[in-house]
Amino acid sequence: MFEEKVQEIEMHARAIRETIIEMLVAAGSGHTAGPLGMADIFAAFYFYILSHDPKNPTWTERDRLILSNGHITPVRYAAMAHAGYFPVEECLTLRKFGTRLQGHPEREKLPGVETTSGPLGSGLGQAAGYAYGARMDKKKFRVYCLMSDGEQDAGNTWEAAMFAGNNKLANLTAVIDRNNIQINGMTEHVMPLENLKGKYEAFNWHVIEVDGHNVRQFVDAIEEAQAIYERPTVIIAHTIPGKGIKEIEFDYQWHGKPPTKEEAKRFLHELRTYKGKISSEHE
């Protein structure tokens, strides 16, 4: 990637993080750590990777982005708003009565949202079915499924993994947010997941591990996935929950709570005054 494009994506990721904080404090509820940790990946998707049209969100040939772990939807809403799907100001209606921006995404409420998500573990099955149907219809669009690491505890995730591997769904790319936390602790204390790479390889998936805060590395992984023709790909993206706000990074207690007004003021100041890159420095 050209350095200018990398910097542009990182700039969008910073704006997305700021919007996440603003919308969570306005809502008074919601998830903080996961959305902040996935801002770089969502910026890469909406500002570089996806073939999509914010002005025509039902375009038939668009790529499909399916969010399985719907509780991190503030990052999706923020990315969509900054990409032009709806005004950024609407983000402040998060979780309000009657809003299009529910605490979990609803397909029929907001154009550009492909599926309604809530119960963890459902997304990969939905994405695999979508990819299988696209192949039957000889469609060229790609299907992307974003999952949490905690939802790898769910058995239906592995049913979908077996289905996709068995049917060699090369048009499907999954991304696991490997941030090592879930609502009641660290993943390896609650339900150890490793060897995660080996498990997916056993189900005939191509597996790539990346630093989820390194934009160039993530985009390279997506392009590698696009070059694999005989099996689906899963990208295990190692991220830091709460990325960008030092005092909450890797603190699982921020999995499901929003900042107070005072905390939000402090967090926004940190995001807006930091002069270096939010994403990782190593290439």
The distance from CA 121 to its chain's CA centroid, rounded to whole angstroms, is 14
Whether 174 and 145 have beta carbons less than 8 Å apart is answered as yes
Q: What is the CATH number of domain 3-273?
A: 3.40.50.970
Distance in angstroms (rounded) separating the CA atoms of residues 116 and 45: 19
| pLDDT per position as a tens digit, 17-27 | 999 999 999 99
- Model confidence at 187, pLDDT cuts 50, 70, 90, reads confident
Q: Give percent helix, percent strand, percent coil of the chain, each to the nearest 5.
A: 45, 10, 40
Tell me the whole-structure pTM to 2 decimals.
Answer: 0.94
Q: Per-domain residue ranges for the chain?
A: 3-273
CB neighbours of 95 closer than 8 A, spacing ≥ 6? 27, 28, 29, 30, 101, 102, 103
- The distance from CA 109 to its chain's CA centroid, rounded to whole angstroms, is 20
The percent of residues in the chain predicted with pLDDT above 90, rounded, is: 87
Which three-class secondary structure string do you get for 33-65?
A: HHHHHCHHHHHHHHHHHCCCCCCCCCCCCCCEE
- At 99-120, the pLDDT tens digits run 999 999 999 999 999 999 878 8
CA proximity to 150, closest of 117, 196, 107, 115: 196
Crossing angle of helices 215-226 and 3-27, rounded to 10°: 100
**For residue 214, is pLDDT > 80?**
yes
CA nearest 23: which of 113, 83, 102, 105? 102
Residue 111 burial (10 A CB sphere; 0-12, 13-18, 19+): middle
Residue pLDDT, tens place only, 36-62: 999 999 999 999 999 999 999 999 999
The two structure tokens encoding residue 33: 């750590």
